[in-house]
Structure 1
Amino acid sequence: MRFPSTRIITHCAAQAVLCLLAFNVHAATHESPPALASGTRMTLQATASAEVPLDTVRITLAAETEAQSQAAASQQLAVLLATATKQAQDAAGITSHTGNYGIWPSRDHAGKINGWHGRGEIVLQSRDFAAASALATRMNSDVAISNIVFVLSRQARQAQEHKLVRQVAQAFRARALEAAKAFGFSGYRIAQLDMSGAGAVPPAPHPVPMMRMAAKADEVDAPLQGGNVVVSVSVSGTIVLH
């Protein structure tokens, strides 16, 4: 029995490789061409804002004690804060919570402890400025007003942001169309959008000196006015010009 020569086998293998290469080239010529660019893209941003009144007041009331021992200072402070907390809890339309609390020693020139100081806070919060002011005045015989700050409630912020959504959408569309025409295009389509909302934070209040006023029958509560804050909604996005 005769076997094919090495030359014949090599020739057949070469032919097989050539056929395979020819098939790959033929298949490559029938592949779809790469996708064309989707168009000229542009990134834009638009913002709508409105000035709204701060609708919530936070009044910080602080009690301070001095005693010869840490236990005595702590006990006196606890009594003052418990009384103030009870008054605050009984007030309608006003929420309250405890604030900072601390007991620390005082020292003489030699560094020896010669007494103890205590300080604790009660924070009132309300959208009724008059009621909060009246309560703070009544409580002022036991705890002193140390800080007043005005904020925008979450409900009011969300309500204003909802009003601004339509405005910012119109502003974005107008800016996109104006940009398209400015660069010689007839229109655009939106490829991506991102929306964010934020309210400008009013300046941080400076702590006021501890104020203690005797609550009298004819005493007039201090009027409170919160001022305004700017709420804004921004939209940034990518458009494709055509």
Structure 2
Amino acid sequence: MTPMNNSRSRPHWPRTLAALSLACVAPLAAVAADSPPAHQLAFSASASLEIAHDVLTVSLQAMREGNDAAVVQSALKQVLDTALNEARKAADPAALAVRTEGFNLSLRYGRDGKPSGWTGTAGLVLEGRDIARVAATAGKLTGMNIVGTGYSLSRELRERHESTLTAQAIQKFRSRADEMARQFGYSGYQLREVNVQTSDSELGGRPPVVMMRSSAVQADAAPLPTEGGKGLLSATVQGTVTLTR
């Protein structure tokens, strides 16, 4: 009688062990791929420039109160129309822009919590690079109160200096990367991530000038006193480098 061949019933140990080994190696390879390369440095470099503000913004507001909403609204429209007509006389695309802002009408409540009438507000904004013109026009708008002023950098002035500052910040970043690589005993570096940002801020933290002017001021009122000061325009490069042998 021929002996029975039991090879099919035997476990394939070599194949089973090989599959188990591959299953163990694969997660380790994935972890290694996700791990950041060694010898990385993260730092930033900046370049800045002091620039005189060249745009003045003046916000004006009219407020009226009354028992009849239609009467309050009509009074606001009248004072706003008068101020707009006066401001448009001085308006110029390159020197002074005029826009309305925030026409609101709401109920007014008394101490007993019950409605006691209506309150309405209307806003007007003057903004421009001709500082003298903006200030003089703001002083002529009767019937509206000056509730705030502020200075800023024009888009043209920012764009004129941003490219130069960005180039300076990038050069500082590269020089610092070279220097740190040498100090750590490496021959160079490879750039991994980089982010470039520009910003402007007020020097010395000077708060914006805020003034109030009575609606009783006449049309020949003196120009609004102003002082623009300087701003700080900055470019910053933040990045990560890998040191190389």
Q: How high is the TM-score relative to the length of structure 2?
A: 0.76
* Mapped pair 1:214 → 2:215: no
Structure 1 residues 187, 110: CA separation in 2 closer, same or farther (over 3 Å shift)? closer
> Cα distance, 1:19 vs. partner?
8.6
Structure 1 residues 191, 111: CA separation in 2 closer, same or farther (over 3 Å shift)? closer
> Cα distance, 1:175 vs. partner?
0.8
Partner-residue secondary structure (3-state), 2:140: helix
> Cα distance, 1:114 vs. partner?
5.2
> Cα distance, 1:9 vs. partner?
5.2
Structure 1 residues 176, 19: CA separation in 2 closer, same or farther (over 3 Å shift)? closer
CA distance in 2, matches of 1:192, 1:111: 59
User: Corresponding residue for 1:42?
Assistant: 41
Which residues of structure 1 form unaligned runs of 5+?
A: 25-33
User: Corresponding residue for 1:28?
Assistant: none
User: Corresponding residue for 2:97?
Assistant: 95
* Mapped pair 1:122 → 2:124: yes
> Is the Cα–Cα contact under 8 Å of residues 130 and 223 in structure 1 kept in the other structure?
no
Partner-residue secondary structure (3-state), 1:200: strand
Greater Cα offset, 62-71 or 51-60 = 62-71
Equivalent pairs: percent with the same residue? 26
User: Corresponding residue for 1:55?
Assistant: 54
Partner-residue secondary structure (3-state), 2:156: helix
* Mapped pair 1:158 → 2:162: no
Structure 1 residues 158, 107: CA separation in 2 closer, same or farther (over 3 Å shift)? same
Q: Describe how 1:104-143 pairs up with structure 2 within 5 A.
A: 104-106=106-108, 115-139=117-141, 141-143=142-144
Structure 1 residues 70, 183: CA separation in 2 closer, same or farther (over 3 Å shift)? same
Tell me the alpha carbon deviations over residues 142-179 of structure 1, each in whole angstroms, 9 at most, x when there is no partner: 32222111122233223322110111011111111111
CA distance in 2, matches of 1:222, 1:20: 90
CA distance in 2, matches of 1:19, 1:144: 91
> Is the Cα–Cα contact under 8 Å of residues 56 and 129 in structure 2 kept in the other structure?
yes
Structure 1 residues 179, 105: CA separation in 2 closer, same or farther (over 3 Å shift)? same
CA distance in 2, matches of 1:116, 1:236: 53
> Is the Cα–Cα contact under 8 Å of residues 88 and 94 in structure 1 kept in the other structure?
no
> Cα distance, 1:198 vs. partner?
1.7
Which residues of structure 2 form unaligned runs of 5+?
A: 20-28
User: Corresponding residue for 1:173?
Assistant: 174
Structure 1 residues 113, 17: CA separation in 2 closer, same or farther (over 3 Å shift)? closer
> Is the Cα–Cα contact under 8 Å of residues 55 and 153 in structure 2 kept in the other structure?
yes
User: Corresponding residue for 2:63?
Assistant: 64
RMSD, aligned α-carbons: 3.4
Partner-residue secondary structure (3-state), 1:209: coil
Tell me the alpha carbon deviations over residues 78-115 of structure 1, each in whole angstroms, 9 at most, x when there is no partner: 11112212332342232122223333455666666555
Question: How many residues matched?
Answer: 227
> Is the Cα–Cα contact under 8 Å of residues 146 and 211 in structure 1 kept in the other structure?
no
CA distance in 2, matches of 1:157, 1:151: 10
Structure 1 residues 192, 113: CA separation in 2 closer, same or farther (over 3 Å shift)? closer
CA distance in 1, matches of 2:189, 2:159: 31
Larger radius of gyration: 1
CA distance in 2, matches of 1:84, 1:214: 12
Look up the equivalent residue of 1:214 and give its one-letter code: Q
CA distance in 2, matches of 1:209, 1:134: 15
